[in-house]
Amino acid sequence: MDLHLLDKVAIVNGASQGIGCAVARTLAEEGARIVMTARREAPLNAAAEVVRAETGSRVLAVAADVRRAEDCVRVVENTVKVFGRIDVLVNNDGAPPLGAIEEFDDVAWQKAVEQNLYSVIRMVRQTVPHMKAAGGGSIINIAAVSARQPLAGLGLSVATWAGVLGYAKTLSLELGPFGITVNTICPGRIDTGRLALVTRKRAEQQGEDADKMMQELLHEVPLRRLGKPEDVAGLVALLVSVRGSFITGAAIQVDGGLLRSVY
């Protein structure tokens, strides 16, 4: 199935590993030109080189911390300077620390808001004018299924992701007339370092074996397996393509059936 992404220009944040890297690679495989960003320059450059080698696509690596307004400006300026346009923005910037709500002071909360919410707001602010100039575009936010089904110990993430869901829905209403779609993907238990970290910390807190806890977590997933970063990347590719151009304002979980809610 041709997704008609040839020569589209996509910015993918948090692209040095995990879901972000998988998204960059998948879009590049579909013919898009990619701007990969991440905070750490060495792993970012290494990941970008792999994507270039595997796909033959043009890839620009920009080391940036999208929690900082000036870095968001620089990413967009470099993208337009090199590629001349922006068609796709994928906001993906990891997650705040784990812990009980009472463990976090105002500084921790401010950092969580900067990471999960302000990074999205600032990148959108910089990219939307270019999407309007191009006659349309697509914005994807990578959140987590915990934004819809909260979990103890993930308070910083849950609260800030909820803000992203509301912001994205509002954006979809305001940007729809300009041909810009806005959607949020809520991954469940994806096989990345983040899941292993969460499981180990929870096992330590409860005095349980981490491997046993992981098996219990798998049993809660109807498909009885962890998701792969590529499972998320495939949905991103669909949503930013002409095949997904009538989908906007949605929050879609990629979780193997973990979320029990009907709505």
Q: Domain residues for 218?
A: 191-226
Q: How far apart are CA 83 and CA 86, in angstroms?
A: 8
Residue 173 CB neighbours (<10 A): 11
In this structure, are 210 and 94 located in the same domain? no
Is residue 26 one of the residues assigned to a domain? yes
Is residue 47 one of the residues assigned to a domain? yes
Average pLDDT along the chain: 94
How many separate helices (H) and strands (E) can be counted in the chain?
Answer: 9, 7
If one counts the domains in the chain, the total is 2
In this structure, are 162 and 208 located in the same domain? no
pLDDT value, residue 170: 98
3-state secondary structure of 30: coil
Is residue 55 one of the residues assigned to a domain? yes
Q: What is the DSSP letter of 142?
A: E
In this structure, are 167 and 215 located in the same domain? no
Whether 45 contacts 123, CB under 8 Å: no
Whole-number Cα distances in Å, 185 to 98, 148, 254: 21, 11, 7
Q: How far apart are CA 248 and CA 182, in angstroms?
A: 5
pTM comes to 0.94
pLDDT value, residue 200: 84
Whether 218 contacts 225, CB under 8 Å: yes
> What is the mean predicted confidence (pLDDT) over 118-127?
98
In this structure, are 65 and 82 located in the same domain? yes
CA angle, corner 37, sides to 250 and 79, nearest 5? Answer: 90
Q: What is the domain-level CATH number for residue 44?
A: 3.40.50.720
Q: In the β-sheet with 251-254, what is the strand arrangement from edge to edge?
A: 59-63, 33-38, 9-12, 88-91, 137-142, 180-187, 251-254
- Does residue 144 surpass a pLDDT of 80? yes
Is residue 74 one of the residues assigned to a domain? yes
In this structure, are 176 and 202 located in the same domain? no
pLDDT value, residue 223: 95
3-state secondary structure of 9: strand
Query: For 1-32, how does the pLDDT look when each residue is reduced to its tens digit (9 = 90+)?
Result: 789 999 999 999 999 999 999 999 999 999 99
- Does residue 214 surpass a pLDDT of 80? yes
pLDDT value, residue 263: 74
Closest CA to 182 of 88, 73, 105: 88
In this structure, are 100 and 164 located in the same domain? yes
Least confident piece of the model among 60-64, 103-107, 224-228, 257-261: 257-261
Is residue 2 one of the residues assigned to a domain? no
In this structure, are 130 and 155 located in the same domain? yes
Is residue 131 one of the residues assigned to a domain? yes
In this structure, are 115 and 207 located in the same domain? no
Banded pLDDT at 206 (limits 50, 70, 90): confident
> What is the mean predicted confidence (pLDDT) over 193-222?
84
In this structure, are 87 and 202 located in the same domain? no
> What is the mean predicted confidence (pLDDT) over 204-219?
85
| Six token digits for residue 46 | 């290494």
E strand spans, the chain: 9-12, 33-38, 59-63, 88-91, 137-142, 180-187, 251-254
Is residue 3 one of the residues assigned to a domain? no
Query: For 24-54, how does the pLDDT look when each residue is reduced to its tens digit (9 = 90+)?
Result: 999 999 999 999 999 999 999 999 999 999 9
In this structure, are 215 and 140 located in the same domain? no
Between residues 50 and 260, the one the model is more confident about: 50
Whole-number Cα distances in Å, 84 to 79, 122, 127: 7, 20, 12
